[in-house]
Structure 1
Amino acid sequence: MTTTTTTTTTTSTAGPIAAPGSGPLDDWRPEDEAFWAQAGAGIARRNLIFSVLSEHIGFSVWSLWSVIVLFLGPAYGFDPAQKFTLTAVPTLVGGAMRIPYTFAVARFGGRNWTVVSALLLLLPTTAIAIVLEPGVSYGTLLAVAALAGVGGGNFASSMANINAFYPQRLKGWALGINAGGGNLGVPAVQLVGLAVLATAGAGHPRLLLVVYIPLIVLAALLSARYMDNLPALRNDKGAMREVAREPHAWVMSLLYIGTFGSFIGFGFAFGQVLQVQFHAEFATPVKAAYLTFLGPLLGSLVRPVGGWFADRWGGARVTFWNFVAMAGAALVVYLASRQESLGLFLTGFVLLFVFSGLGNGSAYKMIPAIFAAKLGPGPAARRKSGALMGIAGAIGALGGVLVNIAFRESFLNSGRGDAAYLAFLAFYGLCLVVTWAVYLRPSARRLAGV
């Protein structure tokens, strides 16, 4: 009798596979292995695919200004410090947007909010198309750059949504795929920018928008057609207030500043750093663009690997050793800068991108593992881990602002990035100490399995 009931429930829940987006998934039990094998895996995979697409385009729009600044030649009259500010502004706004975007999933549903958040990307892209030309005021560009922050919010809502679809044993892989696919939006827009610079020249930045505006509309349409809402997420409205009183929320936010903050900050700033610090080698924007995309591309591709490593060996252990590696890479960049060795500098920076990507995956795996250890796998743990993803994602993104500010001040004061590289090294040292002290140090209070 029990078998018959289970089969009937699973069969009825499997309906959205044939008619995705037709209604909410009222019965969702990812930890039930029979349900997962028969219906859950297929539904979750479909939602993951279209979540990645929308988030990918969101990241591209968020990081548009890492490319736009390469088009701002002498005719615009902006110095390097002003350009670093233009890339910092969308990072700041994007981090702040992640809090309301996490709430939005609980309020409107994952599919519904994915559609709305995709359409919101039309605001910054059309604004750039309207105002970008020599003679535009710096204040106008700052305001338009701020609009690009909506692309940064997509990450938080997407991760909170996908976290609810997958069982605990697969969260590291699923969240890594979701985040890594989204992160690929950074090198993707930089490759598109390179193509425009190499073929049409620096005088045609609007060609970027000819590519992305149709993609935004397509992502919204596909999300509406193929994604689903999980009513269980509507129980998350008060979770963020509860999680904000949890000490682990602030520890994980600190660690995420070190991983994701580094990734997005370096992704926005790398092209400018090359042009300012190695001006002779990268005198034209197209020369810098040839290398700008490489680090974000590798960092995005390895993010799911970081999640997989964390599934296998534990998120805290992988995150700890990853910060050791990031500190080593920062030291390499500093030494290369002092020696003015371009080859060593590029090697160190690419390693920083790779390790920040690995750390993104392992740190995000730690979040659901913390609440699974405290509450056991189930709705309560999913509820709080989704909320913490919003908080950590928002604060972590602010690390990208700090990266750009560090570069701005370092280049303003000395014409070099050395002070910034030492600051990164010190911060990674702090993060590895915190990871060990809270999650790895032998202690009766240590959470098992994080």
Structure 2
Amino acid sequence: MTAPGTAPAPPTDPNASSASSKAPSKKGSHWIEEWDPENEEFWNAKGEKIARRNLLFSVLSEHIGFSIWTMWSVLVLFMGPEYGLTPADKFLLTSMVTLVGAVVRVPYTFAVAIFGGRNWTIVSAALLLVPTVAAFTVMEPGTSFNTFLLVGLLAGIGGGNFASSMTNINAFFPLRKKGWALGLNAGGGNIGVPVIQLAALAIIGAGGGPRVLLGIYIPLILVAAVLAALFMDNLASVKNDTGAAKDAAKDAHTWIMSFLYIGTFGSFIGYSFAFGQVLQNQFGRTPLEAAYVTFIGPLLGSLIRPLGGWLADKHGGAKITLYNYVGMGVATAVLIAASMEKSLALFTVAFVVLFVLSGLGNGSTFKMIPGIFQAKALAKGLEGEAAAAYGRRLSGASMGLIGAVGALGGVGINLAFRQSFLSYGSGTGAFVAFLAFYGACFVVTWAVYLRRPTGRITASGTASEAKSQLSYAEV
């Protein structure tokens, strides 16, 4: 699976010198002209080293992007009564930040194919200065809610870094390594959520204010942009193809996987924004008390995401995703019981378990994408490089759409909590809705990707469809 609309890379001589893997001088030294990760000799000789280097600095940029995207989940903890904001105002604020982060994922995905992975990483990292400096400027009592909302919307661009980073790194690794590589890339980015929460905990504990936290991130953003410029590469084989986006949008599997990704990543990012506020509003925790535990769930959920990708590589993403939804449903049922019984200890443990499962599911669902389109290619009768090119083209283009729709789940979670607190004074009503949604995700995963077709196969076309459906169990 490559970037949106990626054309297949030409065959590469694995014995060629490293200089031959670079583009002509007119493009510059950071352009790689020939790239063939599926060729094991090329991969072992030099491809893996290059891919891992780009992965490392992509993770750094995406990590800071996640921190900036989710910084308002932390900043609202600093905003006491003197700021004049109600719990509903804060949930609305974090919902809108999440919404922008979801929407910008689509253009960020295609920016890699237009500008190059390295070039866009530099730009997208530098752009993080805008919301950070803006928040540093307005973060004080007396600022209007509308101003906070406008500045919060700027932070949404940090959510776009995930899409461009995943699309870029996806092009560097062979199919057999994608689950691990994409899981590690995404997990390293996701961990930006607990890191900024831990930083906030330390600052609150030391008696500092929100501007101290923001001031720490401004130089880190500059470092990420400079390191990307020095050590990352562009792949010349990643070429813009608007037709790939249209084809991916027409494919039902793009939207089915978007639905499933709402259940996993939507839960992760939504709960990351909401966990501290729920503890404050439902259990009366102070900002410091809430900060002591809010980072644990996102931290564990981020660390386990590569494991979800690895398990999917080994056992099939559909199977891991199915069992994962069972676990998420059980954890949510426990949350409902803990919420009704007002048991803070049980509530906190169950919430952390739900975070862990959402992270595991993030890895398994994203690994399904290249496998699904590869299975479709084989079902169409394509073989060899033709099948691989078809799978890379559509799976790469679908990643931005799936990532964007999945992030919209975070918007839904924050809006659900907002309505639940307005209507019932607690988050219980929201958790009931989440439980029903996880049940629907379980049914869809089983029905589309794991259910064995029944009845006799009487025509060659039906046989082909049956073969295709059965192969999804291994995606």
TM over 0.5: yes
Take 2:117 and 2:14, find their aligned partners in 1: how far apart are those partners? 26
Quote the Cα distance in structure 2 between the aligned partners of 1:13 and 1:413: 65
* Match for residue 270 of structure 2 among 257, 265, 282: 265
CA distance 1:141–1:361, change in 2 (3 Å): same
Instruction: Please state how far the C-alpha of 1:380 moved relative to its aligned partner.
Output: 3.2
Percentage of identical aligned residues? 61
The 5-angstrom pairing of residues 23-422 of structure 1 reads: 23-201=30-208, 204-279=209-284, 282=285, 284-375=286-377, 378-422=388-432
Q: Which amino acid aligns with 2:275?
A: F
- Is 1:440 aligned to residue 450 of structure 2? yes
**TM-score, length basis structure 2:** 0.90
CA distance in 1, matches of 2:178, 2:375: 14
Corresponding position of 2:5: none
Contact kept, 8 Å, 1:330 with 1:421, in 2: the verdict is yes
* Whole-Å separation in 1 of the counterparts to 2:390 and 2:48: 21
Q: CA RMSD in A?
A: 1.4
Call closer, same or farther: CA 1:336–1:7 in 2, change over 3 Å: closer
Structure 2: how far apart are the matches of 1:412 and 1:331? 22
Number of equivalenced pairs: 437
Q: Does the aligned pair in 2 maintain the 1:186–1:267 contact within 8 Å?
A: yes
TM-score w.r.t. structure 1 length? 0.95
Distance 1:59 1:319 in 2: 24
Cα pair distance change 1:213/1:447, threshold 3 Å: farther
Where structure 1 has 5 or more consecutive residues not aligned to the other structure, the ranges are none
Q: Return the letter of the residue paired with 1:396.
A: G
The offset of 1:240, in angstroms, is: 1.4
Contact 1:265 1:401 in 2 (8 A): yes
1:236–1:384: 8 Å Cα contact kept in structure 2?
A: no
Indicate conservation of the 8 Å contact 1:370/1:447, yes or no: no
Task: Work out the CA distance in 2 between the residues paired with 1:196 and 1:225.
Answer: 32
C-alpha distance in 2 between matches for 1:247 and 1:13: 40
Decide whether aligned partners of structure 1 residues 7 and 402 sit closer, same or farther in structure 2, where only a CA change above 3 A counts: closer
Separation of aligned partners in 1, 2:388 and 2:310: 21
Q: Secondary structure at the match of 1:266?
A: helix
Whether contact under 8 Å (1:13, 1:39) holds in the other structure is: no
CA distance in 2, matches of 1:297, 1:240: 33
Instruction: Specify the code of the residue in structure 2 equivalent to 1:171.
Output: K
Separation (CA, whole Å) in 1 of partners of 2:350 and 2:294: 14
Residues in 2 aligned to 1:236 and 1:348: alpha-carbon distance in whole angstroms: 44
Which amino acid counterpart does residue 369 of structure 1 have in structure 2?
G
Q: How many Å apart are 1:247 and its aligned residue?
A: 0.3
Counterpart of 1:23 in structure 2: which amino acid?
H
Deviation at 1:378, TM superposition (A): 2.9
Following the alignment from structure 2 to structure 1, what is the Cα–Cα distance between the partners of residues 251 and 268? 26
Q: Which amino acid aligns with 2:469?
A: R
User: Aligned letter for 1:313?
Assistant: H
Match of 2:4 in 1: none
Give the Å deviation of 1:232: 1.8
Is the 2:191–2:298 Cα contact (8 Å) retained in structure 1?
yes
- Residue type at the aligned position of 1:149: G
1:287-312 per-position Cα deviation (integer Å, ceiling 9, x unaligned): 10000100000000000000000000
Q: Distance in 2 between matches of 1:144 and 1:136?
A: 11
Structure 2 residue matching 1:232: 3-state secondary structure: coil
- What is the Cα deviation at residue 238 of structure 1? 2.9
Amino acid at match of 1:403: I
Aligned residues of 2:274 and 2:414 also touching (Cα < 8 A) = yes
Once the 2 structures are TM-superposed, how far is the Cα of residue 24 of structure 1 from its aligned partner? 1.4
Amino acid at match of 2:180: W
Q: Which amino acid aligns with 1:319?
A: T
What is the distance in 2 between the residues matched to 1:24 and 1:137? 47
Q: CA deviation at 1:7?
A: 4.4
Q: Distance in 1 between matches of 2:432 and 2:247?
A: 36
Deviations 1:405-439 (A, max 9, x none): 01000011110111101111000000010000000
Per-residue displacement from partner, 1:283-338 (whole Å, max 9, x unpaired)? x2011000010000000000000000000000000000000100010001001111
